[in-house]
Structures are given as structure tokens and as C-alpha cells.
Amino acid sequence: MQIAATYDPEGFRDRGFVQAITDDGAEAGPARAVADLEAEVAALEESGGPRWVWPATADIAPALLRRGVRVDRCHDLALTEALLLAYEGHCGEPRSLGAAWARLHGLPVPEDRAEGTMAAPADNPTTQPALFEPDRSRLSADVDPLRAVREVYAEQLRRIAATANPGAFRLLVAAESAASLAAAEMAHHGLPWRADVHSQILEEVLGPRPLDGSPPREMVAMAARLAEALGIRALNPDSAAQVTKAFSDAGVKLPSLRRWELEGIDHPAIPLLLKYKELSRLYSFNGWVWRDTWVVDGRFRPEYSVGGVVTGRWAARGGGALQIARRLRKAVIADPGWLFVSADAAQLEPRILAAMAQDPGMAEATQSDDMYSALAGVFEGSRDQAKLGLLGAMYGQTGGGAAAPLALMRRRFPKATALLDDAAREGERGRLVRSQLGRTCPPPSQRWQSAIAGDAEADAADDSNRRSGQVARARGRFTRNFVIQATAAEWAEVLLALLRQQLRTLDGPQLVFFQHDEVLVHAPREHAAAVTEMIIQCATAAGRLVFGPSPVRFPMSVHSVECYGDAK
């Protein structure tokens, strides 16, 4: 059964409307106004788990979770709209229910409300329900909201049926919707984070916390040593201009201040500069201010944005959730009696390539848990060369140390190479490419379009032609990588959706973190073994769902640990 549900766009956020609908979005019962939509969802969920068809999970799920309501399945109209718009070549157009409804009726389309930067938890404690969630449905007051849900849903089903592979697209929509539920649950649970351990790390590396907000002891000391090594009185190592000038005065020309460039330069001040950058990064990115802002009641609660990246990866706002520095993972410690089951897909992207391209040689290599080692023989006995060849092909690298392994890649894995080259060529011509399930890249930007068009302009200056070529090739690298990254992201979302279902059969384990190809489940100790088994099975099932019968293996590297820092 399916139930359309929406808040009253005009009223207080508790009020809403519900109505049973058929598989194709027609009315299957009376429309009902309810005084407390969340209570209504809870009751209906209790009595048999419908599929909820609603404007946006992100708008309702946090409130439901605060009231202890967990929803089994949904169809997220906004996320689906975004997938369909991209498929149809209109990536980036407004995707709210109101926008979709307006497009359907040829009316002016409202802009989406910005997702906005998340208020830090100190200002907006998640433990305290906000009086109003932002209404992102953008539905105008004179529209019957249930009618809008039904009509947009029915239209989406028609548009899905019109895609080249409706079954695949349906899976994509289901996975994306399930992922939106998982994201809300992870934000709700939060990642266990020990503020005291975090402080300990900071003090070991930076010295005691300065009380007045000035830079900590070790940074000041390193800056002083750096100045001394350069023979000057003082400098601000954060200022590129000052650093470049100081090295120049010392007779060293720096091509840039990138770490990998600096590492190739022989000067006694270079290691000091690198060390300073390391300290500075920790201090400014994950220092005491970060901890005070983002760690509340022993939990780090970022806000995830499902579909926030064009490739289908999640984005996160607030606290740099998807860039938790490895050294800080020591502060991620399970509650007493609990463990983290940490799982990451080993070498996901080359496996995705092997499955998409149905390349027999690469598929054979996926039988191994370490593809690169399995392929070392092909790459003159070097695991590193194998890795360079595979990654270089997927990222569109051409020169440098990758040239030789890329040539081998081309010769030994022609089907895989052809898939990537085709994607790159399509991109260079300004065309769209799609993932395995149908997620579609954005059309070329204005800059790309004029650059690609500029190629044809006979009287364009050489300089302009060269720039055009560069821009077109950059687009080619993007589309080349898009097909792989987007398919990897959807494989991971399918895995997450399956795992979320499985975990519901246990009492206790919670998804607390997801990062592209890695999941973290916080589980009572006695459930860790069962969770481990579930993850491994879900990975295999995800491969079958996304690719059908395929010899390609998707092994997971799974560890049960008390501390996330010990996971790898």
C-alpha cells in the first residue's frame, strides 16, 4: 500500500494531509486532514508499513525520529524529481514538489529554498525540536497539496517508464529514497565522539589550549623556527605571498605551495613549513573550536545531503563530516558494551568498472580481495603500477608515471578502456553520460559550451583554441570519471538500503556513518558478528541488483572495533 503524506504548507508544521493512493498515483481512499501528521505516520506505520509518498524525506524524517518514529519505505518526490530532471538534460532545475507541480501545469516555477548552511548544534540543539522545520515544498497556497503529490507522483512514474531502462531507474529511485531515510537516521543518532580523547590529541600535537584564541604553542614555535631557517625575523606561514617572498629572498623559487611540490625541494626550511601546515590544518579544521561547535553530548551530528553531489555521492554540511581526519578517528569510541562494525568496499571503483564494462580480464581479477596484486603480473610485476594504471584510466590521467601502465591497461583490458574512452569522448562533444542505473551528468556549463563551440570558430586565435581544447578535455575527464563514480555511489546506496532493512531485524545496532564506500554500524557487542555477516551479504546482493548476473566480486573489509581509529 502507498500513502501520500504532506504537511500543510500553510499551517503549523504538525498539521498535514494523508491519503491512500494506488500504484499509479490515483486516489485509493479519502483525503484526510490530520492535526498531527507525525502521530498519524506513526500509527499507519505501526499498522502495516506503507510506502510513503511525500515531498521530501529531509523535511519530515528528523521530526519523526525525534518522536521515535522509524519509517520503513518511502518515495522521495524531490530526490526523484532531481534524478529525472538530470536524465532529461535539465540538471539543476528546481526539484521541490511546488516546482514539479508548476512545471506540470505550465506555471512559473519557484526556486528551491536553499538547503542553507546548517546551524551549529550549539545554536540549534537537535535534542530540542525546532518549532518549525523549513518548508521546502514551495507549494503555493491555492494548490491542494495531496493533489499535487498525486499528480507529480503519477507524472514521475510515467517519466521513469519512458527512460531507456525503467527497471534500473526504479531501483535508483528506491535506493535514493531509502538512502534519504538512512541519512536522517544517521544524523539523528550521531557519531559517538569522545571530546576528552579529542582534547588529548590536540594537546599532544599543538600544546595546551590557548585561552585567548591565539595560535597554540607548537604552531608559534614552528613559525619561529621557520623564520629563523629563512634568515628573517618573522613571517606568517599562512600567507602565500610572505612565504614565496621569503624563500625567493633565500634563493629558492617555489613553483607553488602545494605539499607535493614542496616535498621535491631541498632546503632546510621546507620540512618546517610542511610541519607548520600540518599543525595549522589540525588547529583550524579540527581544533578546539570545531570540537566545541560540533560535538554535543558525546555525539558528532553532521547534516548529510543525499544526492548533494552530481555523481550521486552524498555531501555533508557542517563540521566537514566526510573529511574526518584519520588522526582524529581515535576519538570515535563506541559506548561501553558496544562496538563499531566498520566496513569498506575494497577497491570499489575498479570493480565497478569491471562489472559495467563486462571486461573478462578485469572480472577475473575481482575474484581476489586485492585486485591490484592480482593484476601485478599484467603490469610487469608491480602492484603499484597496476594501481596507477587502473586509477589513471578512470581519472583520465595521461602523462607522468602513468603513461606506461596506461598503455598496458589499454592492451590488456580493451573493453574496460573502451567504456572509459567512450565516456570521455561523449563528454568532449558536449553530450551527457549516464551511470549503470541512469543517473545522468549535468550538461556542459556555459563555459564548456562556448569553449566547445569555440573550437569550430575558424578565426579563433590559437590561444583561444588551446584553451577550448583544455576545457573540452576537462569535460571529458569529468564524464569519464562520472560513469564510474556515479555507479559506485549507487552501488553503495543500494548496499546501504539493504543493510538498513536487515538491521531492523536486530534490536540495537544503528547506522552512524557512511562515507562513499564505507559504513559504520554502532552495535551492542553481542550483535557484532551478525552485523558483519549482514554487511558481507548485502554487498553481494547490491552487486546482483545493480549489475544482474556478473562474475564480479564486491568484497567488504569488515572490522569490529571499539575505536574507529583501529578499523584500518
Q: Which residues of 484-497 are buried (b: 16+ CB within 10 A; e: fewer)?
A: bbbbbbbbbbbbbb
Considering only residues 141 to 170 of the shown chain, the ones binding DNA according to CB under 7 A are none
d(CA 248, CA 38): 65
Minimum distance of DNA from residue 381's CB (angstroms): 19
Phi-psi region of 348 (alpha: psi -120 to 50; beta: other; left: phi over 0): alpha
Is residue 285 within 8 A of residue 277, CB to CB? The reply is no
One-letter amino acid for residue 565 of the chain: G
Strand partners, 340: 522, 561
Binding-site member from 67, 105, 158, 327 for DNA (CB under 7 A):
327
Q: Select the span of 7-15, 60-68, 309-317, 415-423 touching DNA (CB under 7 A).
A: 309-317
Minimum distance of DNA from residue 468's CB (angstroms): 12
Residue keyed to cell 568498472 = 353
d(CA 247, CA 250): 5
Residue 256 near DNA by CB under 7 A: yes
Binding-site member from 16, 319, 444, 509 for DNA (CB under 7 A):
319
Size, binding site for DNA by CB under 7 A: 57
Strands (E) across 189-337 are located at: 191-192, 295-296, 299-300, 303-305, 315-317
One-letter amino acid for residue 172 of the chain: L
Per-residue x/- mask for DNA, residues 392 to 421, rule CB under 7 A? x--xxxxxx-x-------------------
Residue 474 near DNA by CB under 7 A: yes
Binding-site member from 481, 502, 532, 560 for DNA (CB under 7 A):
481
What is the torsion angle, in degrees rounded to the nearest 10, for the CA atoms of residue 403, residue 405, residue 410 and residue 413?
-160
Residue 518 near DNA by CB under 7 A: yes
What length is written for the chain?
Answer: 568
Q: Select the span of 29-37, 355-363, 378-386, 514-522 touching DNA (CB under 7 A).
A: 514-522
Per-residue x/- mask for DNA, residues 342 to 381, rule CB under 7 A? --x-------------------------------------
Q: Which residues of 350-380 are buried (b: 16+ CB within 10 A; e: fewer)?
A: bbbbbbbbebeebbebbeeeebbebbbebbe
Minimum distance of DNA from residue 437's CB (angstroms): 18
Minimum distance of DNA from residue 502's CB (angstroms): 22
* End-to-end alpha carbon distance in the chain: 43
Minimum distance of DNA from residue 219's CB (angstroms): 11
Considering only residues 28 to 87 of the shown chain, the ones binding DNA according to CB under 7 A are none
Residue 439 near DNA by CB under 7 A: no
Binding-site member from 324, 339, 346, 437 for DNA (CB under 7 A):
324
Task: Write down the H helix ranges in 331-431.
Answer: 348-357, 360-365, 371-374, 383-395, 403-412, 414-428
Which chain residues interact with DNA by CB under 7 A?
Answer: 117, 236, 238-242, 256-259, 262, 277-278, 281, 284-285, 290, 305, 308-311, 313, 315-320, 322-327, 344, 388, 391-392, 395-400, 402, 470, 474, 477-478, 481, 485, 515-518
